Structure 1
């Protein structure tokens, strides 16, 4: 019904066996490590610290016996499990069975809901990362950066703030939204529907110049991209392509790799590195370029995240494309979905990804070669050295539309540098025209040798 706070950069690694090998057999006692062994966490990371388990049981019993109202055991355990992941980073979370099923549906591009990418904030409100094209949210005028504070007039529940958005297709839902520049919250009514996302659109901007927009990276995005490019080529040989990744919240890493491979003749696309060997991987391009070396310009903005940044970084570092627009969101981490025996799952951050040049864009994003300014200048987020991010507009409002401003985010390699400023959300067709103008300029990046076309 809605997309998760993962921004959809999910590498579905077969990691479960690596973890399962540490699980004791049914007739064995679990291995317990004493908490007064300072090296226990390093030498035996799978062992459970006995003193910390005792502490948890004590708190659990205190809540059960003394809290002002009765507390359901299952609800209390779920809260404890979610709390275990809460302080790791904003993208690690626990999925119960229904959440896991919805997550799978969304990765496949079909689900019931309003069509918006959301992230749960520390105060339990929902921040809009991006509305999805041609969905109830987009048609209702919901914008990136909006904050949902209530649904149908009720505050969002603490255990699962997204649950009130669920409902049958055709049912109505009323969102209370806080928006920068608005003096007070306002309501928007939407009708839920079956969301079937066509992740790739295309058209000719003018003879010889194509335009492809990728809205999200789903299981079929790579195949759809190939079909759209081939359809454009059938109308006449392309002299250049504008690839629009604005407000694309990401998705399946493998889909982004496939698109990059279709535009690259050789070179590294992306690599990932984590603490366990299975998290370390490298993807390389295979020979052949679907555009036969025609130049490419990639249009990005502050809503371009995760898999979008993988693709933009791959094309830029391989000198295959010029990046235009605004600094991207800066989500450079990989989440692995680990299924549990009871049907639930843990979505855990297991690695960082690196562009071909070896750069991690975590918390810094990709800086465009050519920056576009928003038509209406938005408040900006500034970081000076190691000082805290502060962004204040003329009305004293605060904005934090970037990975670097999320509480508990993984620290990036470039954090602390002077002059960091968050990117802007660039809405409208005017930026497509600007990107086309850049595409036509002499010296736009293209491969020196004409490769063999991939078909």
Structure 2
């Protein structure tokens, strides 16, 4: 992908801010150029007077005192809430959370949390994090954080307490398997959350899941593809790309992931009201996937950036899409930093697939519809009698060895595809594609 298209969210934000129309604060003087002639927008003075009057009435007549800061921030939130569901005013905590979710990094301990009987339970410590190095284990119950009892806390409350500035200290009181409580003193560090998971489903067939599109997702996908190819002896016979329940994320990451499977052509383009919101992204000649047969899984939870990838691969006929209709979020949001650690998340453009499709409020229809389900094996019957089991049967005319049933059932090994009907269908399709493509 050409480097001139690699705009960061902040760079795009600044471009959008610089391109905003100029605002005139007073009515034009008699004889001055009209707004139409100057190209400047005039502030709606009547509406502003009404706003000021309402603000004054609330301050003087509302049943409880309320300060100007609260009133004005609520007014901003109300202004954005009536635009579309994805535009929002981000206060410092929300802005920080958005930055962490898109970067995949945050200051913390590296603990995946759950709850059990009103107590916080460690689901798993993340490898090579302060929690793992301190000896925190799956199943531990967190009784206190910095001396405060945690019983009855919500997961969000606990996460807020556990996260913090890298290098800061925290004290946890835990109990393990009914033993005596013990205390650990830990130091927070930068925790990196991987958005890509991969494995070989069986020989020749790989599985790659993207949970959300973070800044480093494109790099992670390239690394996962190389590892899968290496694990399979150099090249894969087929790959399942799982985008189910992927809520989206960074536009640039979606472009980079698509580029790993395409070697030419348009990936996505955007259209908005101002020039800086109109972008086009095209694929580089390199193909990290080595042209492997590809099935992409989508469902109603596949949104935004996930739909960009699915739409590009579908339009280029690079992959077969399987599953159910996607979410249908065809808009692009730009984060515009404001003062005091706040930001504006504003819908600035719609995006279109290479064939010019807007999926806004429609979603992407998979090539093959497969509903969610589980696979169950019939274990009640042994393998039936075969010709080779019959006394006096004829031998194979070409000299092949007999293959009797031996009256035994094949032992069932539970795999990922056994528990996931859509995944099993994707794997079966890849096997069929391989058979038909062989000379």
TM-score, scaled relative to structure 1: 0.63
Which of 427, 433, 436 aligns to 1:442? It is 433
After TM superposition, list the pairs within 5 Å mapping 1:56-75 onto structure 2.
Answer: 56-75=51-70
Q: Which residue of 2 aligns with 1:283?
A: 281
Change (3 A) 1:84 1:340: same
Q: Which residue of 2 aligns with 1:306?
A: 304
Verify: 1:315 aligned to 2:308, yes or no: no
Q: Which residue of 2 aligns with 1:246?
A: 244
Q: Which residue of 2 aligns with 1:409?
A: none
Q: Which residue of 2 aligns with 1:85?
A: 80
Instruction: Tell me the C-alpha RMSD between the 2 structures.
Output: 4.0
CA distance in 2, matches of 1:263, 1:445: 21
Q: Which residue of 2 aligns with 1:222?
A: 218
Q: What count of residue pairs does the alignment treat as equivalent?
A: 328
Cα offset for 1:11?
Answer: 5.2
SS of match in other structure, 1:168: helix
Cα offset for 1:197?
Answer: 2.3
Q: Which residue of 2 aligns with 1:264?
A: 262
TM-score, scaled relative to structure 2: 0.66
After TM superposition, list the pairs within 5 Å mapping 1:60-209 onto structure 2.
Answer: 60-111=55-106, 167-169=160-162, 196-209=192-205
Q: Which residue of 1 aligns with 2:397?
A: none
CA distance in 2, matches of 1:308, 1:428: 23
CA distance in 2, matches of 1:87, 1:42: 31
Cα offset for 1:441?
Answer: 2.3
Cα offset for 1:40?
Answer: 7.0
CA distance in 1, matches of 2:346, 2:435: 39
Q: Which residue of 1 aligns with 2:350?
A: 352
Which of 309, 320, 323 aligns to 1:325? It is 323
CA distance in 1, matches of 2:125, 2:49: 49
Change (3 A) 1:40 1:247: farther
Which of 331, 353, 369 aligns to 2:367? It is 369
8 Å CA contact retained: 1:275, 1:350: yes
SS of match in other structure, 1:167: helix
Superposed CA offset, 1:168-188 (max 9, x none): 1299xxxxxxxxxxxxxxxxx
CA distance in 2, matches of 1:349, 1:308: 17
SS of match in other structure, 2:197: strand
Cα offset for 1:223?
Answer: 0.8
Which moved further from structure 2: 105-114 or 257-266?
Answer: 105-114
CA distance in 1, matches of 2:302, 2:37: 37
The gaps in structure 2 that reach 5 residues or longer are 1-7, 114-122, 127-137, 140-150, 164-169, 171-188, 375-416
SS of match in other structure, 2:280: strand
Superposed CA offset, 1:364-414 (max 9, x none): 1100011112339xxxxxxxxxxxxxxxxxxxxxxxxxxxxxxxxxxxxxx
Q: Which residue of 2 aligns with 1:233?
A: 229
Q: Which residue of 2 aligns with 1:422?
A: none
Cα offset for 1:331?
Answer: 0.7
CA distance in 1, matches of 2:237, 2:229: 10
SS of match in other structure, 2:313: helix
CA distance in 2, matches of 1:445, 1:317: 22
CA distance in 1, matches of 2:227, 2:350: 36
Ranges of 4+ aligned residues in structure 1 off by more than 4 Å: 10-13, 20-25, 31-34, 39-46, 112-116, 133-136, 162-166, 193-196, 443-446
CA distance in 2, matches of 1:427, 1:311: 26
